[in-house]
């Protein structure tokens, strides 16, 4: 089946893309670029860098703008998916949704209206187990945003490895942090992985942090041969 992946450049959409590639043909990535940093639907930090990931993965990308207003942004998402259906003849859409009924139900309705299949290969996955798979399958993921207590500045820009997963596990027990950031606690960016033909090297990034809210904005990055 020809599939398009709703793509933010974060670990969930990249890993969902890998899962889709294992069974079907991913023919395009679909990225919604929101002007609203607090979008209800769309991952925002560094989303403009998804073109670089698409190039690293050797896939075409359809980038669609939205003002990011609640519910209105769904019309933009529908238009983007409809455009992907027409341009790349996709038969279905893949998302990286794990727990969010809000996001999943809305994408399901759009797919139903457009007569497309909808796939959520990470749906209800155990978050710690998932993070371990991500690392053991060779993905290089950095944290580009933290938005919850007690995540301090050291988390911004950190790489997800087995040690960091252990820390997230203990924060889950103590502070009810979702280890994969499903509650909006973390945002991530993927630099390399088994579905990447080239890896991404960050040359310049700006770190900001204040009161348990921090971001790593990638300013200059390039593709490097593997």
Partner 1 sequence: MILIVDLCHKPRSLSKREFVDPIAAIVRRAGSEYEVAHFTELTEDAIERSDRIILCGTALKDNLFAEEICQFAWIEDLDKPLLGICAGMQVVAAVFGGEIVPQPKIGLEKIEIVRETDLLGPPREIEGYHLHNFGVTLPPGFDLVAGRPGQIEAFKHSERPVYGIIFHPEVRNRWIVEQLVSL
- Looking at the Cβ atoms of 33 and 98, the one nearer to partner 1 is 98
> What SS3 state is found at 113?
helix
Binding positions for partner 1, rule: CB under 8 A: 19-20, 22-24, 92, 94, 101, 105, 108-109, 111-112, 115-126
Q: What is the largest CA-CA distance in the chain?
A: 48
- Looking at the Cβ atoms of 63 and 172, the one nearer to partner 1 is 172
- Looking at the Cβ atoms of 13 and 144, the one nearer to partner 1 is 13
- Looking at the Cβ atoms of 49 and 106, the one nearer to partner 1 is 106
State in angstroms the smallest separation of the CB of 56 from partner 1. Answer: 23
State in angstroms the smallest separation of the CB of 120 from partner 1. Answer: 5
- Looking at the Cβ atoms of 108 and 172, the one nearer to partner 1 is 108
State in angstroms the smallest separation of the CB of 130 from partner 1. Answer: 11
> What SS3 state is found at 160?
coil
State in angstroms the smallest separation of the CB of 106 from partner 1. Answer: 9
Burial 156-173 (b: 16+ CB within 10 A, else e): bbbebeeebbeebbebee
- Looking at the Cβ atoms of 24 and 140, the one nearer to partner 1 is 24
Q: Looking at the chain, how many residues does it have?
A: 226
Give the DSSP letter string of 11-80: HHHHHHHHHHHHHSEEEEEEEEEES-TT-SS---TTGGGHHHHHHHHT--EEEEEE---TTHHHHHHHHH
State in angstroms the smallest separation of the CB of 156 from partner 1. Answer: 31
State in angstroms the smallest separation of the CB of 204 from partner 1. Answer: 38
- Which residue matches tokens 């960050």? 202
Distance CA 223, CA 226 (A): 9
Cα–Cα distances (Å) from 51 to 31, 97, 190, 225, in that order, read 9, 21, 12, 17
């Amino acid at each position: 089946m020809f599939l398009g992946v709703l793509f933010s450049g974060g670990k969930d959409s990249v890993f969902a893309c890998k899962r889709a590639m294992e069974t079907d043909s991913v023919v395009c990535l679909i990225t919604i670029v929101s002007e609203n940093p607090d979008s209800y639907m769309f991952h925002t930090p560094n989303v403009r860098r998804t073109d670089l990931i698409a190039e690293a993965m050797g896939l075409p990308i359809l980038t669609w703008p939205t003002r990011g207003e609640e519910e209105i942004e769904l019309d933009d998402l529908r238009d983007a998916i409809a455009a992907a259906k027409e341009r790349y003849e996709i038969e279905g859409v893949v998302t990286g949704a794990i727990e969010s009924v809000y996001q999943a139900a809305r994408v399901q309705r759009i797919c139903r209206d457009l007569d497309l299949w909808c796939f959520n290969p990470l749906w209800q996955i155990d978050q710690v187990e998932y993070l371990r798979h991500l690392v053991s399958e060779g993905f290089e993921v950095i944290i580009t945003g933290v938005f919850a207590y007690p995540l301090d500045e050291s988390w911004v820009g950190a790489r997800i490895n087995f040690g960091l997963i252990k820390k997230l596990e203990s924060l889950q027990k103590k502070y009810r942090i979702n280890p994969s950031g499903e509650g909006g606690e973390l945002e991530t960016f993927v630099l390399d992985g088994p579905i990447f033909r080239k890896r991404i090297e960050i040359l310049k990034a700006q770190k900001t942090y204040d009161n348990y809210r921090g971001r790593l904005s990638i300013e200059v990055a390039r593709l490097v041969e593997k």
